[in-house]
Amino acid sequence: MLPGSGAALARCLPTCLRDWRQPTRICSVNTMKTDCVIAGGGPAGMMLGLLLARAGVDVVVLEKHADFLRDFRGDTIHPSTLDVMHELGLLDEFLRRPHDELREVAVRVGDEQATLADFRHVPTHCKFLMMMPQWDFLDFLAGHARKLPSFHLVMRAEAQRLLIDEGRVTGVVARTPEGELEVRAALVVGADGRHSTIRAQAGLQPQDFGAPMDVLWLRVSRLAADPPDLFGQVDAGRMLVMIARGDYWQCALLIPKGSGDVWRGRGVAALHEALLGLSPWLGERVKELTDWDEQVKLLSVTVDRLREWAMPGLLCIGDAAHAMSPIGGVGINLAVQDAVAAARLLAQPLREHELDLDALRRVQRRREWPVRVVQRMQLTMQDRLIAPILASTGPVRMPGFLRMLGRFPLLRRIPAWFIGVGVRPEHVA
């Protein structure tokens, strides 16, 4: 541990820095020392913070927002992440939180319907895809992490620049309501998402692989007689993914890349028309959408990856290292898997003050291959399936490989395994 870290640090922290639920007060301390400072309290940052603190590493997580209750950010928790929760001994308690369980994914193309994935056979504890608002997931992780003496979560702290001494990153400066907070650490982790400040400050440039689509996220109420679970609907120039969430449908309408403003200009009437064109059974319910700004969220789809995830004293994980396409809804899962691998590989060197660049590069070597495999699959789907559909004006036919999945139930286990478990699932040390 660094001098001034651990229990000593916790003691010198004012209440507002120890407990994010407390209203922030004027703080006198503006310098902290710790073993690891993580910028970003998303799935990657919170999971890494919890795991490192659990392994006895002193860790500070900086989150720029005041709470986790933000816009919709995706809410799939995959079976492999649920296995991580099981390994942490938290699964039963986690499953008691309100959630939905999806066991099948189906698609309707024109008038033809096929089931594409069946999660009932994945080799994990939970044989379903869990749907839980991301803020509930983060709140759960934060609740458990905060019980650990070496975990410190600082809300309303936006990491703005890196401290660099002789070519090595030695800390981060964050903006807080009380002024600047300087956190010195043996390791800075950029877990601050797809528009990562840490990555930009370090001069790390992601390779952009492009995407033909953006996504409009919106909600429509759900009735008992509606179709079950999760399914996609496809027609000329349009794709809609509907995820059953209790009494509402979480809908993702795929639109051509960069056309968000055009859609916004057309207003909610264009949305009503698009939804009814794909799901006529929604009927009058589409009229629940009355206010674009309040009810529609645009996801600008990005698929990118850093060539180098690390430099001396710094590591990027999750979306900061690789933004994923929404295909398969795997972004959260991969962020969590990165965190699990990073904690397993770095806890000991951090505890023993022997962290070097090789250790950080081991994390990239471990995680880059699964990310590449998933991104390759997503790019193939984007180019071969989504781009032609969004560009089509005539009738769309069910692609042959989707029809095969629909016909042969055994084959449906393959996409379920790929989405639900993925290549090289990580395990808690």
Q: What single-letter amino acid sits at 410?
A: L
CA–CA distance, 276 with 55 (Å, rounded to integer):
52
Using CA atoms, how far apart are residues 8 and 244, in angstroms rounded to an integer? 48
Stretch that binds ligand FAD, among 10-18, 176-184, 271-279, 316-324 (CB under 6 A): 316-324
Q: How far is the CB of 76 from ligand FAD (least distance, A)?
A: 4
Is the Cβ of residue 62 or residue 340 nearer to ligand FAD in the bound state? 62
Instruction: Name which of 406 and 422 has its Cβ closer to ligand FAD.
Output: 422
Shortest Å, Cβ 330 to ligand FAD: 5
Give the type of residue at 302: T
140 binds ligand FAD (CB under 6 A): no
Query: Which residue, 328 or 349, has its beta carbon nearer to ligand FAD?
Result: 328
d(CA 302, CA 261): 17
From candidates 20, 36, 42, 84, binder to ligand FAD by CB under 6 A: 42
254 binds ligand FAD (CB under 6 A): no
Q: Which stretch binds ligand FAD (CB under 6 A): 43-51, 108-116, 176-184, 271-279?
A: 43-51
| Residue 326 interacts with ligand FAD (CB under 6 A): yes or no | yes
Q: Name which of residues 332 to 361 contact ligand FAD (CB under 6 A).
A: 332-333, 335
Instruction: Pick from 72, 135, 248, 418 the residue near ligand FAD by CB under 6 A.
Output: 72
As measured in angstroms, the least distance from the Cβ of 85 to ligand FAD is: 15
* Interaction of residue 324 with ligand FAD, rule CB under 6 A: yes
What does the alpha-carbon distance between residue 26 and residue 374 come to, in Å, rounded to a whole number? 46
- Cα dihedral 62→363→376→47 (10° resolution): -40
Instruction: Report the alpha-carbon distance of residue 344 to residue 72 in Å, rounded.
Output: 30
Alpha-carbon distance of 334 to 32, in angstroms, equals 30
The stretches of 267-356 forming alpha helices (DSSP H) are 268-278, 292-295, 331-351
Q: What residues between 165 and 184 interact with ligand FAD by CB under 6 A?
A: none
DSSP collapsed to 3 states, 84-136 = HHHHCCCHHHHHCCCCEEECEEEEEECCEEEEEEEHHHCCCCCCCEEECCHHH
Q: Does 301 bind ligand FAD (CB under 6 A)?
A: no
Closest separation in Å from C-beta 154 to ligand FAD: 9
**Residue selected from 266, 297, 361, 362 as contacting ligand FAD according to rule CB under 6 A:** 297
CA 22 to chain centre: 26
Q: Is 412 in the site for ligand FAD (CB under 6 A)?
A: no
Using the rule CB under 6 A, is 397 a contact of ligand FAD?
no
Q: Does 192 bind ligand FAD (CB under 6 A)?
A: yes
Q: Which is nearer to ligand FAD, 215 or 274 (CB)?
A: 215
Handedness of CA 117, 118, 122, 125 (dihedral sign): positive
Of 52-60, 144-152, 253-261, 317-325: span binding ligand FAD (CB under 6 A): 317-325
The token pair that represents 113 in the structure block: 């319907």
Can you tell me which of 58, 304, 319, 368 binds ligand FAD, judged by CB under 6 A? Answer: 319
Cβ 196 to ligand FAD shortest distance, Å? 7
Tell which residue, 213, 392, 218, has the closest CA to residue 291. Answer: 218
Q: Which is nearer to ligand FAD, 30 or 348 (CB)?
A: 30
Nearest by Cα to 111 from 412, 343, 396: 396
Q: Which is nearer to ligand FAD, 381 or 411 (CB)?
A: 381
Distance from C-alpha of 195 to C-alpha of 42, rounded to nearest angstrom: 13
Asked if 320 contacts 196 with a C-beta cutoff of 8 angstroms, the reply is yes
| Contact footprint for ligand FAD (CB under 6 A) | 39-45, 62-65, 72-76, 158-159, 191-193, 197, 217, 297, 299, 318-320, 324, 326, 329-333, 335
